[in-house]
């Protein structure tokens, strides 16, 4: 096969996106924008560029679109969201609003959580104590965030949580932030938008995102290794050649950026580098279990926690969208260490944890299993961002363009909706708007 030259790659890019509004101009070889990454932020940016009749290329390092939002229908024969599954604040979420025109079924998630104490459900009073402790912990973190100096959420927790403390720490930390509370900024936590009203997509959140990406000019299996912004135009080096554009929108995760998988020339300003380091990705994985016949006797989409005695705990999302699929959620430092031991260890923990809550018969009822490993996904390297203490201002820093032609987007580049698909989407639209203004000049 003849290797692609820079000129031939640009011509191929133009041909791939050719339309009245899209496609690199053949005489100059320069397009308006290149979008790096076809996750939620990249798709949102590409849709906005399309609406503005800009000529652009959307490149994705992996062999699929969606990033950390991916619906798998092969493993279990039903939609299985390997990454993001919860559609937070659907009344405000831009992705949820677009879902109405997608033809997919988005429905409200059942409200509230359930608590297991040993092998029984918590009594009404016990559940009320658990929920009241969560409210008090949230309030204490909010009060700490109003101080002059940022502290960790762990430092802000009330001292009198008693034997509920491990469960509260898991609920607010690993389950909510993908990190233990001693790794999470109180200011970042307090500024996050309320996420107590949710929805699910019956066909999968990833399927919804893929539907919204239909018609976009995506080049898959095209990782970017180098972005040069030293000249008036941006030069992007990929595994298949070069792209020259007036602006670049980079939606790669902070895990990928922090690992140096994309090199910038000149190097990013120090404040951007510090921001990326302090907005590192946490650990959050699913251990999916197939439980035909509902042997646990739970409702569809029931969310179950346990009264834990330590960090070795998880959450259960049962009968996902009415299927026999149940997700055991492992996260934070314990989840990270467990994932490092491999799939077999993750499944073994999930089965033992389930048996401790519902009896040995639950363990015996499990058929097929699967465990995600987001820290090992080469173009993700983690779950989602939660700022380290002192790192919350970094989100705003990443909103600042570099040399007025390099723009960042993604869930980490949103001050209140970090860690969500909706936040990534809004960030992508915002970066595209900024790039469009720059292109216009």
Kindly tell me if the per-residue pLDDT of 212 is higher than 60: yes
DSSP 187-213: HHHHHSPP--SEEEETT-HHHHHHHHT
The pLDDT score that the predictor gives to residue 193 is 87
Q: How far is CA 1 from CA 4, 61, 124, 239, in A?
A: 9, 21, 69, 15
pLDDT in tens, 239-289: 999 999 999 999 999 999 999 999 999 999 999 999 999 999 999 999 999
Residue whose tokens read 């790192």: 391
Average pLDDT of the chain, as a whole number = 93
pTM over 0.75: yes
**How far is Cα 97 from Cα 94, in angstroms, rounded to an integer?**
5
Kindly tell me if the per-residue pLDDT of 76 is higher than 60: yes
pLDDT in tens, 143-187: 999 988 999 999 999 999 999 999 999 999 999 999 999 999 999
Kindly tell me if the per-residue pLDDT of 405 is higher than 60: yes
Kindly tell me if the per-residue pLDDT of 318 is higher than 70: yes
**How far is Cα 314 from Cα 329, in angstroms, rounded to an integer?**
5
**How far is Cα 236 from Cα 34, in angstroms, rounded to an integer?**
8
219: number of Cβ within 10 Å: 18
The pLDDT score that the predictor gives to residue 100 is 85
- C-beta separation of 329 from 317 below 8 A: yes
Look at phi and psi of residue 241 and say left if phi exceeds 0, alpha if psi is from -120 to 50, else beta.
left
The pLDDT score that the predictor gives to residue 16 is 39
Domains and CATH numbers, the chain: 6-66+213-280+385-440 (3.50.50.60), 110-128+158-182+282-379 (3.90.660.10)
Kindly tell me if the per-residue pLDDT of 3 is higher than 80: no
pLDDT in tens, 290-308: 999 999 999 999 999 999 9
Closest to 177 in 3D by CA, of 166, 188, 167, 164: 188
Kindly tell me if the per-residue pLDDT of 109 is higher than 50: yes
Closest to 415 in 3D by CA, of 275, 282, 283: 275
């Amino acid at each position: 096969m003849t290797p692609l030259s820079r000129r031939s790659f640009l011509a191929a890019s133009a041909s791939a996106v050719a339309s009245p509004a899209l496609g690199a101009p053949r005489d100059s070889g320069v397009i308006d924008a290149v979008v790096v990454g076809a996750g939620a932020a990249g798709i949102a940016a590409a849709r906005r560029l399309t609406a503005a009749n800009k000529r652009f290329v959307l490149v994705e390092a992996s062999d699929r679109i969606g990033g950390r939002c991916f619906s798998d229908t092969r493993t279990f024969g039903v939609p299985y969201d390997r990454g993001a599954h919860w559609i937070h604040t659907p009344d405000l979420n831009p992705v949820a609003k677009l879902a109405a025109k997608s033809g997919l079924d988005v429905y409200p998630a059942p409200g509230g959580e359930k608590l297991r104490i040993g092998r029984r459900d918590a009594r009404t009073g016990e559940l009320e104590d658990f929920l009241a402790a969560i409210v008090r912990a949230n309030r204490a973190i909010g009060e700490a965030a109003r101080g002059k100096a940022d502290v960790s959420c762990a430092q802000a927790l009330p001292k009198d949580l008693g034997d509920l403390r491990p469960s509260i720490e898991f609920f607010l930390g690993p389950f909510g932030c993908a990190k233990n509370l001693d790794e999470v900024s109180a200011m970042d936590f307090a500024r996050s938008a309320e996420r107590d009203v949710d929805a699910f997509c019956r066909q999968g959140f990833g399927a919804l995102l893929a539907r919204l990406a239909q018609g976009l000019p995506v080049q898959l299996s095209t990782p970017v290794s180098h972005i040069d912004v030293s000249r008036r135009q941006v030069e992007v080096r990929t595994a298949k050649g070069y792209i020259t554009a007036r602006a670049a929108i980079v939606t790669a995760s902070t895990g990928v950026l922090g690992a140096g998988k994309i090199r910038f020339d000149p190097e990013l300003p120090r404040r951007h580098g510090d921001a990326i380091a302090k907005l590192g990705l946490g650990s959050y994985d699913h251990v999916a279990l197939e439980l035909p016949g509902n042997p646990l006797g739970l409702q569809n989409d029931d969310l179950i926690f346990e009264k834990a005695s330590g960090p070795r705990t998880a959450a259960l999302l049962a009968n996902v969208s009415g299927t026999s699929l149940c997700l055991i959620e492992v996260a934070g430092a314990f989840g990270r260490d467990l994932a490092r031991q491999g799939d077999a260890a993750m499944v073994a923990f999930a089965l033992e944890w389930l048996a401790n809550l519902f009896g040995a018969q639950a363990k015996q009822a499990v058929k097929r299993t699967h465990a995600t490993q987001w820290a090992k996904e080469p173009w993700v390297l983690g779950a989602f961002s939660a700022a380290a203490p002192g790192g919350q201002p970094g989100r705003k820093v990443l909103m600042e363009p570099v040399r007025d032609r390099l723009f960042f987007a993604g869930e980490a580049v949103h001050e209140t909706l970090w860690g969500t698909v909706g936040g990534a989407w809004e960030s992508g639209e915002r970066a595209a708007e900024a790039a469009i203004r720059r292109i216009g000049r």
